[in-house]
Amino acid sequence: MEIVDLIKKYNDLGIADVIDHEKFNLISIDHHTTRIEGSTLTEVEAQVLITEGRTPNGKPLTESLMVTDHHAALLFTIESARAKATLSANLLQQINALVMQNTGKVYNTILGTIDSRTGAFRKGNVTAGISYFPNFDKVERLTTELIKKLGDTIKSPLSVPEQLNLSFDAHFNLVSIHPYYDGNGRTSRLLMNFIQAWYNLPLAIVRSENKATYIQALIDTREQENIEIFREFMRSEYHNLLQKEIEKFEEMKKPSKGGGFTFLF
C-alpha cells in the first residue's frame, strides 16, 4: 500500500483520536531519537519518566535529562507548528536550546564563549565519524538560507508526497549543516516533525534499531549528492510505522474468541 493510502487509512480509522495515543506516540519519538544519541533508557523507562517523573535506577542522570529535555522541545515544536508559527532561524534556535537545556556545555573558543544551552551557532569546526561539516563561518548563512527556503515552501500548495519530501529534505539538510555544537540530530528530526505537524501528518520516527542504516543513508546521500537515497530511507521508516500502527489498531478492535476480555486469574 502506498504511503498516501496508508495515511488516509490511518486517519479514517481515527487512530490519532484514541485516548492517550498522542502522548505515548510523542514519548516513543523521545525514546528513539535519544537512543540514537546514546541514551540507554528503555521505552517503558521513558514512559515512566515522562508520565510520573521517576528516573530509572542504575542509569546516568544525564540520560534522563536528555529524554525530558527532548520531550519539552517536542511539545514546543508541535505546538508551534499547529499554531502556524513562522519558521525562522530564531524558532529553530529555541528548539535546539530546549533540546540542550540541561545537558548542554559551555565552549571557549578564540571567537568567544558559546553556551550550547542557548541555541547559539557553533564557532568551531566539527566532524562526526567520517563526515565533515561546513566551516563554522558558513553556518549562520547556510542555516538562515535553508530556513527561509523552507518557510517559503511550506506555505505553498503541496501534495502529500511533496509535503513528506519537504520534511525529509529539511531533516537531511539541517543535520548536514550541523549548525550547533550539540543536539544537531535531535533538532533536525524535530524540524522534520515540525513540518509534518504543520500539515497535520502523522509524525515520523527514526527507530533506534535502524541507527546504522540511518547514518549510512546520510553518508551515501552526501557522497553521491542524491537526496533520493535519504528520502527512500525515510519513506521506508514512515511506511513501516504507519503499517504497524494500523495493524495494532485493527488487532485491538477484533473481537476475542471468548467473546470479550479474559481475566487472567
The catalytic residue positions are 178
186 is in an annotated binding site: yes
Q: Is 188 annotated as ligand-binding? A: yes
| 184 among annotated binding-site residues | yes
Q: Are 151 and 87 in contact (CB under 8 A)?
A: yes
What are the backbone dihedrals phi and psi of residue 184, each rounded to the nearest 5 degrees, phi first?
Answer: -65, -45
State whether residue 225 is helix, strand or coil: coil
Is there a binding annotation on residue 207?
A: no
185 is in an annotated binding site: yes
Q: Which cell goes with 67? A: 529524554
20 labeled part of a ligand binding site: no
d(CA 218, CA 227) in angstroms, rounded, equals 9
CA distances from 65 to 60, 81, 176, 189, 200 (A): 9, 24, 25, 18, 29
- Annotated ligand binding at 124? The verdict is no
Q: Determine whether the annotation assigns residue 11 to a binding site.
A: no
The one-letter amino acid code at 136 reads F
Helices (H), 83-226: 89-99, 136-153, 160-177, 184-198, 211-224
Q: How many CB atoms lie within 10 A of CB 235?
A: 18
Binding-site residue positions: 182-189
Binding-site residue positions for ATP: 182-189
